[in-house]
Structure formats: structure tokens, C-alpha cells
Amino acid sequence: MHQVSLDYGALFDLVDMGVFVVEPETARLLDANACALAMTRCTMDELRNLPLEHFLTSEPGYSVADAVTWVRKAASEGRQKLRWQGRDLQGGIYWVDVVLQAVTTGTQTVILALCRNATHDRAQEQSLFEAEARYRAIVEAFDGLIYICSGDYQVEYMNQHFIDRTGRSAIGELCYRALHGRDTICPWCVNDRVQAGETVRWEVKSPLDNRWYYIVNTPLRHADGRISKQALIIDVTDRRQAEEQRRALEQKMRETQRFESLGHLAGGVAHDFNNLLLVMLGQMDLVLNSLPADSALRENLQEGINAAQHASGLCRQMLTYAGKNVFKPQVIDLNVHVRDVESLLRLSVSRQAELVLDLSSDSARMSGDPSQLQQVIMNLVINASESLEGRTGRIVVRTGSGRFTPDELACRWLHQPPAVGDYAWLEVSDTGIGIPEEHFPHLFDPFFSTKFTGRGLGLAAVLGIVRGHQGSIQ
């Protein structure tokens, strides 16, 4: 057998990490290999003779006292592992992963400090720490809800806003049960698409609070290959309501502008046509007065005059719709006015209709044009009668007075609702077939009718009169 002689000094220098020999009581550096000298950028003499402070930083936890504590701990308790910050003689800072091990040679015990350069690892760890800190700051500052769940629907994370909303941390629970109160997977869940790597954006109405939420679901990839779903959730209920209100307001503006355009058109046509009718009536009256009493032409001429007068009446209704009729207001009691036209109303409705007057016991005084108000009452009651379509039914005319709010006075057919205040009101209801929803936008259009051609000025005139009286209609 051959005896092999080992040169431990040569092996000491061949080790690819810094090795320091340290005195166990004072942590004084006794020896070092070439790698350790390169790490500290010093010579062996400098290492042995310079105070320990030259190789340490002043950062808390890395002082001479801290070094002595670690060395003594290794001597008394055995091997120690730590991350240490050092300084070379040129002032450069470096990080090392250190293993401290007590070694006895003969009667002397020293501490071997095995140091692996960890400066790059430390930089990566610091970068990762800062990135995580930034992410956490963003998450916690996000004015919405954030949660992360696994592929099997287990909640892995909730931000504080979500915890506040649910009243507890639901980490470890099934997401559909903890967040939506369901016993089965949500039918709108997109977890399978996220697991496939897709980012999904959508809006959903939560069954818990009936509010709308905008959700961005993104895949969150783990180092072991797993994918979790990260959901960023924003409450958009107020935004949706604002959009709906804006669309409703735009629709109302369009309808109002259309009514105003129709009013200008109807008023212009009616005014010019009425002037022509006046000339025609005047000429026919002259011819009629010049004919002998027994002339056969008198009857034909009188029919022409009657037709022209009827056409003139239609022109007046068109002018009423356009708000161009002469308005003669006076203080009247709406209850008394309805009573005055009761007999005329009963003659106007069908025989199968029961007309009921439910008038207020209090006075319903208002300022208005009696003849125009009569036209409103007549038109509404006749419309109610026609809605019965010959069947037995009931028509109720109600009156009253009171103070109305802006919401109660709002009208889709008026551009500007009347001012808040005290108003007298008239209501006509019937048990007829009602008005189809699709007819509402055209309800007050001149000549719009579901009956037959030549009708359709009644409600148009009602709207014009209500507008002229600075009222509202529902």
C-alpha cells in the first residue's frame, strides 16, 4: 500500500470560494486563501495586521460586535449559516453567504469562515423585493376589489377592499361560495379560459348586491407551472346608471326637438292654409248671397262652405298644437268646469261606456283658457271612449290639486318641465285596451292615429294646450 501525502495548503488555495481562518474570541482574521484575498482586495499582511473594522461596514447587524457574536456562537453551538455584508479595502460593498465552522488542530481551535459570493443573488433578491413591494403598494392602493384563485377555485389572496366587502378573509375557501354565495361554480366563470392563458375582460351583475362590476381576469403563472386567476374588479354601477340617464336625456332631447319641428311646420302650414280658407269662405259667401233663394246651386255651395269651415277648425287645432292660438286665461275652478261640460261629455262617449266623475272635494283653482281646457277634457274623454272599441267599460275623470316635485312634473314630450309649485290636475282613465309601447314616441304627433286616416289632431292639440298653460302631461 502506498501512502499519499496531501498538500492542504495547496487545496486551501484551490477552493473556489473565500476561506478565512478566524480567531474564535475576537474574530481577528488569522489567515485566508487566494479567493478570500481577492474578495477583500488586500494582501495577507494587510489582512492580518489591519483592524477588523477595515473589512466591515457600519450597517446595523454587520458591525465588529455582530461579527464577534457570530464567531463565538459557532465556537459554542456549532455550525452557523448567515448572509453577511462585507467591505473591501477600496470601499466596495459585497455580499457573501457564510458558513462558520469550528475546527481544532492540536490544541488550537479556530473558526473557518467559508464565504460564497452572493452579491448577484442579493441584487436579484433586492430587485424582487422592490418589485413585490411596488406590486403590493399598487394592489393595496387600487380602489377596487382584487382576488386570486387557483385552478380548483380556491381563494389564494384578497386585497383589503375585498376583505372589507365580505367582512372576512376567505383565503382557502371556494371562490364561488365565499364571493357570490353559490353552492356551484358560477355560470359566468371564465377560469377555464384563464387557465388556457387568456386575459378576459367583461361586466357582470352580482346576485349578492345587484350591482354591476367590470372585471379583468388575467393568468398568474407560478414557478412550478401552476396558473392562478387574478381578478381586478371595479364597481361600475354608477357609471352604467349615468350612461342610461344620458341616453334617456338624449332620447328626450331628440323627441322634444322633433315635436318643436313638427309644431313649427304644423303652425306654418295651418296659418297659410287658414288664410286661403278665409278667402274661399268669403268668396263663397258672396256667391251664396247673390243667388236666388230657390236656386239649386245654393245647397251645393252651402256644403262647400261647411267643408271649408270644418277645414278651418282643423287649422285651429294645428295652431293649438303649435302654441299659436290666442290664449285668454282667467281664474277658473277645474271641478266647476268639468261639471259644466258633463252633459256634453256624456253625449260624446259610447253607450256602452260608464262615465264617472271623481272630482276633488277641495277647490281645484287654476289660471287657464276655458275653451281650450274644454277641448282638452273632450279630446281625452273621446280617446278613452274609443279605446273601449264598442265594449262595455268605464271612464273615470278625476281632479285635484297639490304641490308637485320636479320628478313628478318631468315629461318626455316637453323640453323644459314646468317649475315646482302648486298645480290643479286632471286625470282621465279607462278600462280599454291601452296604448302599445311602440306608439308612445308618436303619441302626440299631428295626424298620428291608430283609427283611420284623417284623425290624429286630438292629442296633438292637448299637448299644445298643456304646453301653453305651462303644465305637464303624463
pLDDT digits (tens, 9 = 90+) for 284-309: 888 878 888 888 788 888 888 877 77
Mean pLDDT (whole number) for 46-55: 91
Q: Residue 100 corresponds to which cell in the numbers above?
A: 462558520
**Whether the Cβ atoms of residue 70 and residue 102 lie closer than 8 Å to each other:** no
**Whether the Cβ atoms of residue 72 and residue 24 lie closer than 8 Å to each other:** yes
Identify the pLDDT of residue 15.
75
**Whether the Cβ atoms of residue 333 and residue 399 lie closer than 8 Å to each other:** no
Mean pLDDT (whole number) for 340-365: 81
**Whether the Cβ atoms of residue 211 and residue 235 lie closer than 8 Å to each other:** yes
Query: Residues 93, 98, 101, CA angle at the centre, nearest 5°?
Result: 145
The DSSP element (H or E) to which 111 belongs, if any, is strand 108-117
Identify the pLDDT of residue 5.
41
**Whether the Cβ atoms of residue 171 and residue 155 lie closer than 8 Å to each other:** yes
Distance CA 82, CA 423 (A): 87
Identify the pLDDT of residue 73.
94
pLDDT band at residue 467 using 50, 70 and 90 as cut-offs = confident
No. of H helices and E strands in the chain?
15, 15
CB count, 10 Å around CB of 459?
22
The DSSP element (H or E) to which 257 belongs, if any, is helix 237-290
Could you tell me the pTM of the whole model? 0.40
Identify the pLDDT of residue 4.
40
Between residues 438 and 388, the one the model is more confident about: 388
Task: Answer whether residue 443 shows pLDDT above 60.
Answer: yes
Of 109-113, 266-270, 344-348, 364-368, minimum mean pLDDT range:
266-270
Q: How would you classify the pairing of strands 155-158 and 29-32?
A: unpaired
**Whether the Cβ atoms of residue 227 and residue 221 lie closer than 8 Å to each other:** yes
Identify the pLDDT of residue 415.
64
Q: Given its phi and psi angles, is residue 238 left (phi above 0), alpha (psi -120 to 50 degrees) or beta?
A: alpha
pLDDT band at residue 162 using 50, 70 and 90 as cut-offs = confident
Between residues 317 and 117, the one the model is more confident about: 117
| Coil vs helix vs strand at 82 | strand
Distance CA 58, CA 87 (A): 10
Distance CA 229, CA 410 (A): 47
**Whether the Cβ atoms of residue 212 and residue 204 lie closer than 8 Å to each other:** yes
Q: What is the DSSP letter of 152?
A: T
Distance CA 317, CA 452 (A): 18
Distance CA 445, CA 260 (A): 11
Task: Answer whether residue 310 shows pLDDT above 70.
Answer: no
Strand order in the sheet with 93-105: 29-32, 18-22, 108-117, 93-105, 80-87
Closest CA relative to residue 12, chosen from 87, 113, 147, 89: 113
Q: Residue 183 corresponds to which cell in the numbers above?
A: 353552492
Q: Residue 225 corresponds to which cell in the numbers above?
A: 407551472
Residues 149-171, buried b or exposed e (16+ Cβ, 10 A)?
bbeebbbeebbebbeebbeeebe
**Whether the Cβ atoms of residue 148 and residue 155 lie closer than 8 Å to each other:** yes
Backbone angles phi, psi at 217, to 5 degrees: -105, 120
Distance CA 389, CA 432 (A): 8
Q: What share of the chain in percent tops pLDDT 90?
A: 17
CB count, 10 Å around CB of 14?
11
